[in-house]
Amino acid sequence: MTTYKKSGVDIKLADKFTEFLEKKSKAIGGFAGLLPIEETGNQYSLVASTDGVGTKLKLAFLLDKHHTIGIDLVAMCVNDLLCCGARPMIFLDYYATGRLDLARSKKIIEGIMEGCRQGESVLLGGETAEMPGFYQPGEYDLAGFSVGIVKKSRILDGRKIRPGDVLIGLKSTGFHSNGFSLIRKVLGDKKLLKKYAARLLTPTKIYVKDINKLRAALRGQKQELLALAHITGAGIPGNLPRVLPKKAGAVVYKNSWKTPAIMRELQRLGSIPEAEMWDSFNMGIGMIAVVRKEAAKTALKALQGSVVIGEVVKGRNEVTIK
């Protein structure tokens, strides 16, 4: 039996550290940080998020394929901004390596630029650091920083959510950029890694255009978007509660969509328990939108391929997978 903790990642410990940070900074929100702009009478807030690609980079190194990893970088940041209701505006990157390889570096930056195009953001700048002796030959690290803006009246915080509201699932493109320490633990043999690596390197879906369509469609029907949850590390059980009120829970019906075949293949190869799969991977849903029941039809029409995956119920900020 293989678990995320055995692969070296302790999600519960990371959650405790996040709780500590949230207590120390009032600006930290559910998925990104919000800072009111005093010059506008606090009618607007700047929203910022930072993230990396994690050990998915190891697969890029293994296959020597670097043209999509930048899309992952942008996606992990801008998708978090969306969950606060923000419109992404600018992006900055940090790229560090032992020795600069010009051809490889161009591919990485071109990927970041493509991610910015999909995420409707301007690549405003960044930092390239050569650190001889710090990274293994052929390896590098990436971090991204996304900044957006949101009008106070359009901030998404989940406060309006109530039992009976509907969960709309937006499909993922695969594992996105989470759970790769566990994936590499299962596919430890290099031959296995190479067999699956091309499918595993599919870039993270950027949901900016989808959410723009959703909000426009809902406004057209005088309906509203109540919340968005970006399904990253800790899966649906760990991320959906971040937007739910304390006295509300959610039921997710796992048979309402099909889990990607590659995830079930990995589960079989690693004898991963079902609960561990849900706590480690997105299971095919990369973003969840919460809307009123009467708005579900509008949302499904606006979001091609989306499905109703569950509902909000009375509870204690927990998610039940049925």
pLDDT (tens digit per residue) in 219-271: 999 999 999 999 999 999 999 999 999 999 999 999 999 999 999 999 999 99
In this predicted structure, the answer to whether residue 17 has a pLDDT above a threshold of 90 is no
Q: How far apart are CA 299 and CA 277, in angstroms?
A: 28
Mapped onto helix, strand or coil, the DSSP state of residue 121 is: coil
The string of pLDDT tens digits covering residues 136-187 is: 999 999 999 999 999 999 999 999 999 999 999 999 999 999 999 999 999 9
pLDDT at 40: 87
pLDDT at 301: 98
- Alpha carbon distance, N-terminus to C-terminus of the chain: 22
Q: Which two tokens stand for residue 157?
A: 């915080």
Average pLDDT of 191-213?
94
CB 149 within 8 A of CB 78: no
Asked if the domains at 1-24+156-322 and 31-155 fall in one CATH topology, the answer is no
In this predicted structure, the answer to whether residue 126 has a pLDDT above a threshold of 70 is yes
Which residues, including other chains, have CB under 8 Å from residue 302's CB and lie 6 or more apart? 213, 214, 216, 217, 218
The string of pLDDT tens digits covering residues 54-71 is: 999 999 999 999 999 999
Q: How far apart are CA 217 and CA 266, in angstroms?
A: 38
- Which of 220, 230, 245 lies closest to 165, judged by CA? 245
Question: Tell me, which fold does domain 31-155 have in CATH?
Answer: 60s Ribosomal Protein L30; Chain: A; (3.30.1330)
pLDDT at 26: 54
CB 51 within 8 A of CB 119: no
In this predicted structure, the answer to whether residue 27 has a pLDDT above a threshold of 60 is no
pLDDT at 23: 56
Band of pLDDT at residue 21, cut at 50, 70 and 90:
low
Average pLDDT of 180-206?
92
Question: What's the order of all strands across the beta sheet hosting 248-252?
Answer: 225-230, 285-291, 166-171, 307-314, 248-252, 319-321
Average pLDDT, the chain: 93
pLDDT at 190: 80
pLDDT at 235: 98
Class for the domain spanning 1-24+156-322:
alpha beta
What is the torsion angle, in degrees rounded to the nearest 10, for the CA atoms of residue 273, residue 19, residue 46 and residue 241? Answer: 40
Q: How far apart are CA 192 and CA 200, in angstroms?
A: 12
Domain boundaries defined on the chain = 1-24+156-322, 31-155
DSSP string computed for 42-65: TSEEEEEEEEE-GGGHHHHHHHT-
CB 277 within 8 A of CB 1: no
pLDDT at 184: 94
Q: How far apart are CA 126 and CA 113, in angstroms?
A: 12
Q: Which two tokens stand for residue 55?
A: 């050990």
The string of pLDDT tens digits covering residues 75-103 is: 999 999 999 999 999 999 999 999 999 99
Which residues, including other chains, have CB under 8 Å from residue 46's CB and lie 6 or more apart? 34, 35, 37, 147, 148, 149
